[in-house]
Chain A
Amino acid sequence: MNTAIVDPMIPVPYQVRSFQKELSDTFTIELTPASGRRPFHFKPGQFNMLYAYGTGEVPISMSGDPADPSKVVHTIRAVGTVTDTLMALREGDNIGLRGPFGSSWPVEAAEGHDLIIVTGGIGLAPLRPAIYHVLKHRKKYGKVCIFYGARTPEDILFRKDLESWRGRFDMYADVTVDRGTGDWAGPVGVVTNLITRGRFDPHHTVAFVCGPEIMMRFSVQTLNGLGVTNDRIHVSMERNMKCAVGLCGFCQFGPTFVCKDGPVFRFDRIQKIFPVREL
């Protein structure tokens, strides 16, 4: 056995090039290698393991443009120990990174189809690279629809992106909130309500769905009801991950390792185990 193989568990130091606050608990960081490591390519939907010095390591999806590998962009919601520490990062600080890992949104296989994207909350971050890709190659797709749900209008992530997508004539973007506040005049309710409002051909549609499991469950049901079959639905699963390379066992989901067989799964491949409680 080769003893010179590199350890996939060892992070590489990166430097924070910019820090941008998105929402009260959400921020975007752009990273650059601390010493001349060459930029890496990633596919939309893939993630990195980000290491905060002395605190821990967490899986975070890439949220930037896959066509520009010089920018390593992550959008993070602070929910606990590590992500809180990451939120305290500032320009020039160091962070450890390993990746990219995992499967990706099948943007190429979706060419020639209508494409609908259903997501909520921070779930938009892992989908943004796919949206960038699709818009860059807009002619290769049929209709393109984005359905996004947030808790309140103040929680709408990437508002500028959403507004610009909504303003385009070659796509449809719709946003709903669980609870309308302030002068919100848009839709109120769950994101699945939006799906039925979009105009697309369900029999020639590919769907990308990313959000909490319960939201994905209802989205799949709605899509099935319209005639989108499970082999054309793709979801991104979330599990605790300690290694991201199939060695720690934490991310197991039935026969799969979410870190390397996922996080993006074609739904028909997990439809049997997806409804099993606490699997």
Chain B
Amino acid sequence: MTGEAGAFGAPRVLAAKALDQLITLLAQDGYEVIGPTERDGAVVYDTVDGAADLPLGRLDEQEGGSYRLKSSRKAGYFHHVVGPHNWKRFLYPPHQVLFTAARRRGGFSITVPDAAPPKRAFVGVRACDLAAIQKQDTVFTGRDYKDPGYAARRAAALVVAVNCTRAGGTCFCASMGTGPQVGPGYDLVLTERLTGDRHEFLAQAGSQAGADLLDKLKGRAAKDDDVKAAEAAVTKASRSMGRTMVDGVETLLKENLEHPRWDEVARRCLYCANCTMVCPTCFCSNTQDETSLDGNEAQRVRTWNSCFSIEFSYIHGGAIRREGRSRYRQWITHKLAHWHDQFGSSGCTGCGRCITWCPVGIDITEEARAIAADKGRTKT
């Protein structure tokens, strides 16, 4: 996609300082700009006022159960990869008020909160994360029932994507077919280049809004060499990925629901639900009711939940998935197998977050591989 002139114009080369200008332009257009920024030792997504808020010169070292930021002269604005945050927190917030019920004589009335969505620009959306957003689009707006809040927030969002030229320590997007090259669906895509004293972006528009921005940012027409260099950097990142998902994992898991590996992983898992919270595609939510002290007003709230919680499968008489093995199995088989039946694709993008942020370093690719190596075994 970076190569040819797309429907929205040819690629252009922007100087590094154009990033600050881009953020200013977006703000002038009325967007709340959300981008990567360093906080408490990690790169998170939050409001940014200018390029200075981005983690220039910072690199993340990630492994199963560990994350560390360090400074590097080789790092530009986007050489870090994904952190503990994901974009779903903006499109499907962790805490949503569904309605307020006010007690009235003879009953109650229901008020739905004003749904006018904020106009937001997401800057620095990785290939895997754009794929994750698209998977959630299918969940929330692509099946029988639609979530109007999600649909409205999504429609109001502008996506400035970034091609990864460096793979993180736990990334495996290449084997999930989601990255590191950004696929369609962005408004603007950037590939950052930092060599010697040259620091610039190759930029390509993917929508009219993106093309308008690029017009204002000017820069110069990209030459063949610029495009080739960018592509080579992305290919290199792809080849350097240390992890892969085993082939045929969908069928593999469906046919190994009683594999002894579930017991083995259950002994290591802490059921903390970190993996599901950091996962950009996990969408499960609970609803709760809160009542004012005088009882005259009640609210119904929707909060993120996880298949690792015991309440998740509770029905009168006790939870269905009492054992840890059943809960871990639910998570990984949903992600890698049953998601295909439900939504026509895998539920995993290969972003690696669940591996990095698991306190005991449980690795989804390794669990799948362990079953593949020993398939067909059942618990005795």
Residues on A close to B: CB < 8 A?
A: 1-13, 15, 34, 51, 53-57, 79-80, 92-94, 96, 238-240, 242-243, 245-250, 252, 254-257, 260, 273, 276-279
Contacts and interface: CB of A to CB of B under 8 A. Distances in A.
Contact of A252 (B288, B314, B334): B334
B316 to A, nearest CB: 5
A11 B110 contact: yes
B376 interface: no
B134 interface: no
Given A276-B258, A278-B326, A7 B107 contact: no
Interface string B281-297: 00111111101000100
> Per DSSP, are chain B's interface residues mostly helix, strand or loop, or mixed?
mixed
Contact of A240 (B107, B300, B313): B313
Nearest to B288: A56
Contact of A250 (B101, B144, B286): B286
A5 B149 CA distance: 9
B58 to A, nearest CB: 35
Contacts of B109: 13
B315 A238 contact: yes
Contacts of A12: 110
A240 B314 contact: yes
Contacts of A9: 98-99, 147, 287, 302
A239 B320 contact: yes
A250 B145 contact: no
Nearest to A9: B98
B283 to A, nearest CB: 6
A78 to B, nearest CB: 10
> By CB atoms of chain A within 10 A, which of B106, B148, B149 has the most?
B148
A5 B148 contact: yes
B160 to A, nearest CB: 20
B139 interface: yes
Contacts of B326: 277-279
20 contacts: A3-B117, A5-B146, A13-B108, A53-B298, A56-B289, A94-B106, A96-B108, A240-B312, A240-B320, A242-B286, A246-B143, A247-B145, A248-B305, A249-B283, A249-B305, A249-B307, A250-B286, A255-B337, A278-B325, A279-B320
Nearest to B139: A247
Contacts of B323: 278
Contacts of A248: 284-287, 302, 305
A181 to B, nearest CB: 23
Contacts of B31: none
B17 interface: no
B152 interface: yes
B67 interface: no
Given A55-B289, A277-B326, A250 B152 contact: no
A20 B283 CA distance: 40
Contacts of B24: none
Nearest to B145: A245
A159 B253 CA distance: 47
Contact of A1 (B141, B286, B305): B141
A10 B101 contact: no
A255 B286 contact: no
B310 to A, nearest CB: 11
A279 B327 CA distance: 9
> By CB atoms of chain A within 10 A, which of B149, B300, B321, B323 has the most?
B300
Contacts of B342: 255, 257
Given A9-B302, A15-B107, A239-B315, A252 B151 contact: no
Contact of A276 (B257, B286, B313, B315): B257
A279 B257 contact: yes
B322 A54 contact: no
A3 B152 contact: yes
A35 to B, nearest CB: 10
Contacts of A54: 101, 289, 291, 295, 298
Contacts of A256: 341
Contact of B112 (A10, A56, A242, A255): A10
A7 B149 contact: yes
Closest 7 CB pairs of A and B: A94-B107, A249-B284, A255-B341, A278-B326, A54-B298, A245-B145, A54-B291
Contact of A2 (B110, B151, B334): B151
Nearest to B295: A54
Contacts of B257: 273, 276, 279
B313 A242 contact: no
A94 B151 contact: no
A250 B322 CA distance: 15
Contacts of B139: 247
